[in-house]
Every structure is written in C-alpha cells, then in structure tokens.
A and B are shown apart, each in its own frame.
Chain A
Amino acid sequence: MRAVTRWFGRSVLVVAVAIGGCAAKRQPTAKLEVVEVALREADASGSAQYAPLELRLAREKLDLARRAMNADDPERARRLSEEALADAQLAEAKTNTEKARRNAEEVRKGTEALHEEATRPLAEP
C-alpha cells in the first residue's frame, strides 16, 4: 500500500515536471516500456538467431537507459531508449528479412527439383 502511494506520488511529480518547464521533452518512463515490448517482439521473432548483434545492442541500451533513469538523468535515459527502440526494431526487421530469404530459397530449390522432374523424359530411353 505504501509502495502504491509512493508510485502515485512519483507519477504526479513526473507529470508535473512534464507539464511545467520541459513540455517539449517526452516522458522517459513510457518509452522504456515501449522498448521492452519491441525487444520481446524481436526476441519472439527469432532475432537471437538472425540478428544477435542488434538484439544485444538494444538490450544493453535499455539497461543503460534504466540506469540513467535511476541516476536521475532522464535526458540520457530518453536518448538511450530511443536508440534501443530503433535497434530492437532493426533486429526484428532483419530477422523477418532473413526468414523471407530462407523461405524463398527453399521454394526455389523445390521448384528447381520439380522443373527437373517435369523436363526429364518419361519412362525408359
């Protein structure tokens, strides 16, 4: 219960800060969640296999963004989370590309085999 109150208090503070003064700067907390979702999606699509570098970058930056948040550096946190989001989305895009490529390759092989079979003369000689 006390935790809820504390969270509520923090939210009010964040909103107040957002409204007053730095209205142009977006709220970093919401951004972190968006990055988390994008990361989960990239991971689920198979990025660990097809785009491991981008996935790792996204994870590391998300981690750094969280630390920046805790260290009271929302600007840095926002930059890092923006970058992490782009990295995670790139990871997923690359994964989808690689999967589509592999599928096309498989279809190509299958069609070639079929073509060979279709053009082979029937029966003996």
Chain B
Amino acid sequence: MRTMTTSVVVVAAVSVALAAGCAPRSNRALDRAHAAFQQAAQNPEIAEKAPVALHEAEQALDRADRRWREDRDEKETNSLAYVAERRVEIARAVAEQKKAEDEARILNENRQQILLGARTGEARMARERARHLEEELRQLHAKQTERGTVITMGDVLFETGSAELKAGAMRDLQRLVVVLRDEPDRQVVIEGHTDDVGTAEHNRQLSQERADAVREALVTNGISRDRIEARGLGESYPVAPNSNQAGRQQNRRVEVIIPPPSATAGAGKQPREQPSSGD
C-alpha cells in the first residue's frame, strides 16, 4: 500500500517537473474560467434553477482543461476557456430568468388571493355594517313605521325655549351621524315639535330653529346638506296630551325620519295624518 502511494507521488512529481520544464504551468484564461465556474457552482440558486446550463458550462470547462493538459496550446485553450466562461454566464442568466419567472408566478398567485380575499372581505364588511347599523338604531330607540325609520330625540337636546343644542346633545347626535354615514344614499327629514305652551307661531318658529340646529350639527359632522330636510311643525302634531307635564315633555321632541331606501327624496314629505285638534 505504502509503495503504491509512493509511486503515485513520484509519478506526479515527475509529471509536474516535465510540465514545468517545457510549457507554462497555468493558463490565465483557464484560471479565470475555473474561478467563474466555481463561483457559479457554489451559488445554490444557479445549481437549483439552471442545472443543465451549469452542466454545459462544466463540460466546456473540461474541454478547455483537457486541451491544456494535452498540448498546452494557448490559442485553443484560450478560446475554449472563453467559451466556458460564456457558458457560466449563460447559466447565471438562465437562473436569473427562472427566478424572475418564479417571482411573476408567485405574484400572480398573490393577485388571485387578493381578488378572492377582496370578495369575501367585502361580504364580511357588508354583514358587519348591517349589524353595526342595527345596533346603533336600537340605541336610538328607532321605530320602523310606514314613513320609514323614525328616531325620536326627546327634549334632552335643547333647554326650554332655546334653539341652541345642549352640550350633551352631541352624544346622541353622534349616533345619528354614524347611522347616516352608513347609509349614504338615504335622505333624512328632521322635524321639530313643541308642546302647546306659548303662541302657535312662536312654537312653529322655535321648532324650525331646532330642526335647523340639528341639521347644522349633522352637516358639521360630514353629512351632506342636500340629504337633509329640516321642518318646524310647532305644536300641531302632539304625541301625548298637553294637559300634564309628562305629556308636554313627550311632545317637545325632534323626530328624525329616514325613509325606506326604496322611496325617493319625496318620501319624507308625504302628508301626515292631520291631528284632530287641527289648526
């Protein structure tokens, strides 16, 4: 065993000595091609995405190596090394191409996911919005009537005899704003009502001013003025007898009517049933 190793070493040494004696030991173009190939071969991306091109580069490099070993022909070896280096570059380009193609494919898949997600997301949002709206309306004690959704704001919005919104009124109105924002296509009618204390004309004027104040508050909160109609109906439409304080308190109110979505802007203006007291 040891003798064999020794003889191999001796043969190798002699070969090297011979080679050194008659021709240059290395070829610069070949060295460069080797370096380029090594670098590419060590890149897992190239090995993975361009195995065929890399193999072709290796074969070209082998050819150059063989030629150099055979007769140290500079011209031939240089040319073969050049070709080998080009093949390495081709392998790099092919790997890059595959990478870009993979990226495009993944992006396209993402795109499909987004489109799919958007559809299910929209449905979910619509459901959530409907649920949210229901909750807000419940908080506002909204009633469904023939005229649409009617929200009665009690006399908590204003001080007696004043058309200026109380500081705390905004909390209730905020809920209304949320509802109206959620239903951007629906009109809204604001009706001011009073009890029968004072002259009818004064009450009508006060109720109009109060309805206007509510409208301004809604407009300030981003609800389009075009959607809102404000009317002062004075004492003409009591919901309770004015003979006692509890009844009068019920009559002092602002009603917000949101006509059903099917009805157009005119729906809120449909004639009300005339009260027996008349005018």
Give residues in A with beta carbon < 8 Å to B: 75-76, 79-80, 82-83, 85-87, 89-90, 93-94, 96-97, 100-101, 103-104, 107-108, 110-111, 114-115, 117-118, 122-125
Complex interface: chain A residues within 8 A of B98 (CB): 100
Sample 19 A-B pairs with CB under 8 A, ordered by A number.
A75-B76, A76-B75, A79-B76, A79-B79, A90-B86, A97-B94, A100-B96, A100-B97, A100-B98, A100-B100, A100-B104, A104-B107, A107-B104, A107-B111, A110-B111, A114-B114, A114-B115, A118-B114, A123-B184
User: Do A122 and B125 touch across chains, with their CB atoms under 8 A apart?
Assistant: yes
Top-10 shortest CB links A-B: A86-B86, A100-B100, A93-B93, A79-B79, A104-B104, A97-B97, A118-B118, A104-B100, A104-B103, A107-B107
Q: Kindly list 11 other residue pairs between chains A and B, CB separation below 8 angstroms, not including A83-B83, A90-B89.
A: A76-B75, A79-B79, A85-B83, A96-B97, A100-B96, A107-B107, A111-B107, A111-B108, A111-B114, A122-B122, A125-B222
User: Do A82 and B93 touch across chains, with their CB atoms under 8 A apart?
Assistant: no
CB contact under 8 A between A118 and B117, given known A93-B90, A93-B97, A104-B101: yes
Complex interface: chain B residues within 8 A of A82 (CB): 79-80, 83
Residues of B in contact (CB 8 Å), total 35
Complex interface: chain A residues within 8 A of B108 (CB): 107, 111
Complex interface: chain B residues within 8 A of A80 (CB): 79
Q: Which of A83, A101, A104, A110 has the most CB of B within 10 A?
A: A104
User: Do B100 and A101 touch across chains, with their CB atoms under 8 A apart?
Assistant: yes
Complex interface: chain A residues within 8 A of B96 (CB): 97, 100-101
Question: Nearest Cβ in chain B — how far from A105, in angstroms?
Answer: 8
Give B41-65 as 1s and 0s: 1 = Cβ < 8 Å from A's Cβ atoms: 0000000000001000000100000
User: Do A103 and B104 touch across chains, with their CB atoms under 8 A apart?
Assistant: yes
Complex interface: chain A residues within 8 A of B75 (CB): 75-76, 79
* Interchain CA distance A86-B76 in the complex, whole Å: 15
- By beta carbon, the residue of chain A nearest B122 is A122
Give B67-95 as 1s and 0s: 1 = Cβ < 8 Å from A's Cβ atoms: 00000000110011011001101100110
Question: Nearest Cβ in chain A — how far from B176, in angstroms?
Answer: 15
Complex interface: chain A residues within 8 A of B82 (CB): 83, 86
* Interchain CA distance A51-B123 in the complex, whole Å: 49
Contact of B90 among A75, A90, A100 (CB under 8 A): A90
Complex interface: chain B residues within 8 A of A125 (CB): 181, 222
Asked whether any CB of chain A lies closer than 8 Å to the CB of B154, the reply is no
Contact of A97 among B60, B100, B110 (CB under 8 A): B100
CB contact under 8 A between A100 and B86, given known A93-B94, A118-B114, A118-B117: no
